[in-house]
């Protein structure tokens, strides 16, 4: 059963100009037509480059950003349609854990106060004593020392602060936690600990996660399903294993090829695709396929004019590319002008494209 169903979600931020007349001169199409479902008890990993709209999508689910269009169904309720007041009442069920644990914790509040505050707002726990006890139990559960309650955020390490952020979400008994870059501010050695903690808590409490990261390696092991975003849209979605074994969208192929492989033989010979050119501005996204300005397989016929829909190509694997099948079969080769983007042994020549090395 899907706990969360996002349907054709759009979040467009108006760009305003003018001192006297506050005119809207354009929009940032931060999220522009995303549909996805998160199954109860599972983890959906959302990845993509900086600025592609991941945080905006996460915040829109919680209605921290205004929704321009589309539905966000949580159980049977379309959150997009709720009044502010009704949304506030739902909010303990949908929590967010942020990238920067220090920035998201009030430095002047001790940990007890941080944890109890949310419970009070949502009327969780009968009295102060019960809330305190609950806070203490939650701190134990996330592996913080028993004297943590009376201490302040700056007294903790980065990893511990992220545990506080997780505890703050947990005390409210959420069903769904949106983790926005939960470990990218942490040392690599600490990252695994926090990811393991999230997994343990999920198993124990039956939590559902939407985990946002720009780094594919972070979401790989904890995600059941992974969605890849590019410029406000979802370009590929598959189970974690399937996506890693068989990335189908050119953008995903490029992202994957940037992740080093531990086996040196494989590492030396694998296909590497460097993304050339900057990420276009979401205020002025390219027409047609949004990836066409950087895609080595671009075909002028359709790529420049027709935006590909996310569609099933096999099993549960969805890809938003007109030519997914032809790229897979080798019928379409990387095109000449971006040939230099295929490194290092691809032997693609500028005038006669040939097969890149596998
Ligand atoms: N409140 C806002 N008003 C205007 N534009 C915004 C606002 N919030 C985000 N944006 C723009 O929307 C786009 C998507 O931003 P978002 O923060 O969602 O990206 P992201 O994928 O989370 O990136 P990162 O990996 O850097 O966190 C960016 O171009 C950003 O500048
Ligand atoms: S639709 Fe065209 S430009 Fe877009 S990813 Fe597919 S081949 Fe590349
Ligand atoms: Mg972000």
Q: Is 113 left (phi over 0), alpha (psi -120 to 50) or beta?
A: alpha
Question: Does a structural domain hold residue 204?
Answer: yes
pLDDT at 189 (0 to 100): 86
pLDDT at 357 (0 to 100): 43
**Are 165 and 72 found together in one domain?**
yes
Question: Residue 344: which residues within 8 A CB-CB, separation 6 or more?
Answer: 272
Our mutation pick for probing the ligand 2 site, out of 298, 307, 338, counting the most ligand atoms within 8 A of Cβ, is: 298
pLDDT at 347 (0 to 100): 41
Last residue of a domain, one of 179, 197, 229: 229
Domain harbouring 213, CATH code: 3.40.50.300
pLDDT at 3 (0 to 100): 97
**Are 300 and 336 found together in one domain?**
yes
Question: Residue 204: which residues within 8 A CB-CB, separation 6 or more?
Answer: 141
Task: Walk along the chain (358 residues) and give the pLDDT tens digit of each residue.
Answer: 799 999 999 999 999 888 777 889 999 999 999 999 999 999 999 999 999 999 999 999 999 999 999 999 999 899 999 999 999 999 999 999 998 877 889 999 999 999 999 999 999 999 999 999 999 999 999 999 989 999 999 999 999 999 999 999 999 999 999 999 999 888 888 999 999 999 999 999 999 999 999 888 889 989 999 999 999 999 999 999 999 999 999 999 988 876 666 666 666 666 666 666 778 999 999 999 999 999 989 998 899 999 999 999 998 899 999 999 999 999 998 875 544 444 444 444 333 344 444 3
Q: CB atoms < 10 A from the CB of 40, how many?
A: 14
Q: Find out whether the beta carbon of 13 lies less than 6 Å from any atom of ligand 1.
A: yes
Termini Cα distance of the chain: 38
- In total, how many domains does the chain have? 2
Question: Does a structural domain hold residue 234?
Answer: no
Question: Does a structural domain hold residue 358?
Answer: no
- CA-based nearest residue to 184, from 30, 42, 50, 41: 50
Question: Does a structural domain hold residue 189?
Answer: yes
Nearest CA to ligand 2 atom 6: 321
CA distance 75 to 146: 36
pLDDT at 279 (0 to 100): 83
Of ligand 1's atoms, which has the minimum distance to the CA of residue 59?
A: 18
pLDDT at 227 (0 to 100): 98
pLDDT at 101 (0 to 100): 75
**Are 185 and 267 found together in one domain?**
no
Q: Find out whether the beta carbon of 51 lies less than 6 Å from any atom of ligand 1.
A: yes
Of ligand 2's atoms, which has the minimum distance to the CA of residue 235?
A: 5
**Are 16 and 158 found together in one domain?**
yes
Q: Is 212 left (phi over 0), alpha (psi -120 to 50) or beta?
A: beta
**Are 223 and 255 found together in one domain?**
no
Nearest CA to ligand 1 atom 22: 55
pLDDT at 136 (0 to 100): 95
Question: Does a structural domain hold residue 243?
Answer: no
Strands 94-97 and 176-180, bridge-based pairing:
parallel
pLDDT at 349 (0 to 100): 38
**Are 151 and 266 found together in one domain?**
no
Last residue of a domain, one of 165, 198, 229: 229
Nearest CA to ligand 1 atom 9: 56
Q: Find out whether the beta carbon of 30 lies less than 6 Å from any atom of ligand 1.
A: yes
Question: Residue 74: which residues within 8 A CB-CB, separation 6 or more?
Answer: 3, 4, 61, 90, 93, 94, 176
Q: How much distance in Å is there from the Cα of 56 to the middle of ligand 1?
A: 6
pLDDT at 290 (0 to 100): 96
**Are 177 and 306 found together in one domain?**
no
**Are 179 and 252 found together in one domain?**
no
Domain that holds residue 202: 2-229
**Are 257 and 207 found together in one domain?**
no
CA distance 67 to 177: 19
Q: Whole-model pTM?
A: 0.90
pLDDT at 334 (0 to 100): 82
**Are 119 and 268 found together in one domain?**
no
Question: Residue 59: which residues within 8 A CB-CB, separation 6 or more?
Answer: 65, 96
Question: Does a structural domain hold residue 235?
Answer: no
Last residue of a domain, one of 201, 229, 257: 229
5 sits in which H/E element: strand 2-17
Question: Does a structural domain hold residue 181?
Answer: yes
Q: CB atoms < 10 A from the CB of 15, how many?
A: 12
**Are 253 and 225 found together in one domain?**
no
Q: How much distance in Å is there from the Cα of 51 to the middle of ligand 3?
A: 7
**Are 189 and 156 found together in one domain?**
yes
Question: Does a structural domain hold residue 357?
Answer: no
């Amino acid at each position: 059963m899907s706990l969360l169903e996002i349907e054709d979600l759009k979040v467009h931020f108006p760009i305003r100009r003018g001192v006297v007349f506050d005119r809207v001169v354009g929009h940032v199409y931060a999220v522009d037509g995303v549909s996805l479902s998160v199954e109860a008890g599972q983890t959906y990993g959302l990845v993509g480059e900086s600025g592609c709209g991941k945080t905006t999508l996460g915040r829109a689910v919680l209605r921290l950003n205004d929704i321009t269009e589309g539905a966000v169904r949580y159980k049977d309720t379309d959150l997009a349609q709720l009044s502010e007041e009704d949304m506030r009442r739902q909010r303990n069920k949908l929590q967010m854990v942020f990238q920067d644990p220090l920035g998201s914790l009030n430095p002047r509040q001790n940990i007890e106060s941080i944890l109890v505050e949310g419970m009070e707002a949502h009327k969780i726990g009968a009295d102060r004593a019960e809330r305190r006890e609950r806070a203490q139990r939650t701190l134990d559960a996330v592996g913080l020392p028993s004297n943590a309650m009376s201490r302040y955020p700056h007294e903790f390490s980065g990893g511990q602060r992220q545990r506080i952020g997780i505890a703050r979400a947990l005390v409210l008994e959420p069903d769904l936690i949106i983790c926005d870059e939960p470990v990218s501010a942490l040392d690599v050695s600490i990252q695994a600990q926090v990811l393991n903690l999230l997994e343990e808590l999920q198993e124990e409490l039956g939590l559902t996660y939407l985990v946002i990261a720009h780094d594919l390696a972070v979401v790989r092991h904890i995600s059941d399903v992974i969605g890849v975003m590019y410029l406000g849209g979802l370009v590929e979605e598959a189970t974690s294993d399937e996506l890693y074994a068989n990335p189908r969208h050119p953008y995903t192929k490029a992202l994957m090829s940037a992740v080093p492989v531990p086996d040196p033989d494989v590492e030396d010979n694998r296909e590497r695709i460097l993304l050339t050119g900057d990420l276009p501005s979401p205020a002025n996204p390219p027409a047609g396929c949004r990836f066409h300005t950087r895609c080595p397989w671009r075909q002028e016929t359709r790529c420049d004019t027709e935006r590909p829909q996310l569609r099933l190509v096999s099993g549960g694997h969805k890809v938003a590319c007109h030519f997914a099948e032809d790229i897979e079969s080798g019928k379409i080769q990387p095109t000449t002008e971006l040939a230099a983007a295929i490194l290092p042994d691809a032997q693609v020549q500028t005038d006669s494209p040939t097969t890149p090395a596998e």
